[in-house]
Structure 1
Amino acid sequence: MKALKIAMHGVTGRMGANQHFIRSILEIMKQGGVSLASGERLQVEPILLGRNAEKLKHLAETVAVEVIERPVAYSTEVDQVIADPAVDIVFDAASTQLRPTILRKAIEQGKAIYCEKPLSDDLAAAKQLAAECAAAGVKNGVVQDKLWLPGMRKLRMLRDSGFFGEILGVRGDFGYWVFTGHDPDQPTQRPSWNYRKEDGGGMMIDMFCHWEYLIRNLFGSIDRVLSHATIDIPERIDEAGKPYTCTADDSAYALFVLQNGVTCQFNSSWSTRVRRDDLLTIQVDGTQGSAVAGLRECWIQPAASTPRPVWNPDIPQPINFYDGWQQIPQNTEYDNAFKIQWELFLKHVAGEGEFPWSIQSGVAGLALAVAGQESSDGQKWIQVGESQQ
């Protein structure tokens, strides 16, 4: 079986370089490919694409050599590489606003496509991409990495075992303090485009795409949303050291009511200081027990171990509520979430296994972000399906 050749566009960014190239593709190459049901090993060969030749060269000839002891190919001729008949897959992790253009070129060439989310900052454009994929018959997928995080997999295990009984409610808390850049001793941790709506930035368009697939896969499909988005920090400092006006929301608060009646409350903020177990925690409360999952760990409290609090503000709280939770043991090794999905997609392209995390799934994520924005703008409930018409 020939190696699958992957054109990887946008890998000079933090996520593209670290999670997709280094921790996924290079690790797959290092382990000798992907194991297929036939017993064969599916090999991959990346070609790094972008505009910055210096960054590409460093990844291809320095980083790759450190991991797999040989360089990989790179090019700044994006269109030429996408059109190359030898290329099997085109991957994009670059700008949200440029993504439809890159993907459309790949679809026109009959390539399988795989990409980061959101698909676009425009729902109509995302739907059009899905329609073009279907018409062309190309295999396609969207990154939905949080499904394979150890903490979320433990939640799924608890759900499937019946631990919760009847699920009553879900609460998600995400975020951390992103430094503004005004203090040179506290540099910002995220790129400036994240805080400019005109460049495709915003908490809601970024994270609601995650919450849609995570909620749908763990708890059920979303029926309606009530949300509120804010710009908490009006000015930040960009990569050139210059101040800029923030035009995109950096905090978003939402109630998602599922078709099965369960209510999910999610708070997302880049202007909050963390006092919880992890940067993302999801608490699930049920009739028979509750669980709190972070990115990797998960804690449970069965009904029989639930303390009996009594409201009395006149004395110090006698209960240490953290003591009543039990940490789920680590009974298996968890691979990198991005790498797991990459392996599933590569198998799918090679003809082994279905891949439900498709472009259409990415459209659903963007539709929820659009519904959330409509709700925030109008301060009203929005049926999620109404934003997909």
Structure 2
Amino acid sequence: MLKTSLALAIGLSSSLAVAATSLTVEDIPKIQSVLQTSISPDGDTVAFTRSVPRELYVAENGSNYSELYVVDDKGVERPFITGSVSIKSIQWSNDSKTIYFLAKLKDDKFTALYQIPVDGGQAQKVLSLKDTSISSYQLSPNNKQLAILAMPAADKSEKELKKLGFMAEVYELGLKDKQLFIVDLAKADLPLTPQALNVANYVSDVNWAAQGDKLLVKTQPTALIDDKYTKSQWHLFDIATNQVTMSFATEGKLDGAELSHDGRYIAILGAEDKHDPATGRLFLADTKTGEVTDWLPDFMGHIVDFEWSNKRNTLNFIANVGTQSFVASIKTGSNKYKKLIKEGQFIASNLSIADSDNKISLTDLLK
């Protein structure tokens, strides 16, 4: 059974420092909120990023800052990286001693991968790519490799043409595909130029199998937004052969997917059909047969986020029904779920499970 004490403690994440009377127009740009939470593998600490608006009438126009904080299971919060920064994609090392994240710090021209020790110390750059930003990444289960998504670096000829005044951008033409790379997780002083894996089309998301031998890869035909909404598809990619070995047929909008601990099943967040305006249906795919089934066919709600347990084929998920949220778990082979945290305690948007499977962190949108 998952413990819920830590889940409720992380609810301090979003805040608004205003009087308890009414919300004014000028209060709205001051609202702070949590963007991402990630519980440490040992379950003792939660790292999270907080969206902090720029100071009204003082700061120059721009997007919100994203700061890094850490909170323990007693609710004690510590700021790690704050100020004029944009921290994203936080992930823990296996030993719970290091937090990895993406950012452009100091003189960075492109987004790079950084790490910071939990027990104290400055953030250090781990690696970067030559002439392009790291869009997203996933640590391998043994923390020895990285799966990286990035756009191709601009061709030298393009740079030269821009210097000569050829800067026209034709709408929906000249689009490039985002690519998938695997690199060793080792500190690199110089930007890397790795070889892209053999995955056709635009790669939009990736997840490791627990054994580290396969990847879940989501693709779409092009970078066009219509392709993202209507033609995205998840595939199983074998690293040893550098080939897609299985594709999973779904219809309509498509969100995240994750392999079970033994690699047998894949939980997929998708849409009921091509007319469904949002992802919120939970599907279960079998990696032996390729069959995809609606896991909760009669569920009158909206699945928000999920994560597999680390030691058994049980999926933990957040669901919204009406204006309420609850957290539940469901086992493969069954269409019945068990509520772990009932409605009325929060409106949750993000879920993270400790390696021991006995602690969970949530982002509460109402706190």
Query: Greater CA radius of gyration, 1 or 2?
Result: 1
Instruction: Return the structure number with greater relative CO, CA threshold 8 A, min gap 6.
Output: 1
**TM-score exceeds 0.5:** no
With the shorter chain as reference, the TM-score category is under 0.3
TM-score (norm 1): 0.25
Structure with the higher fraction of residues in strand conformation = 2
TM-score (norm 2): 0.26
Structure with the higher fraction of residues in helix conformation = 1
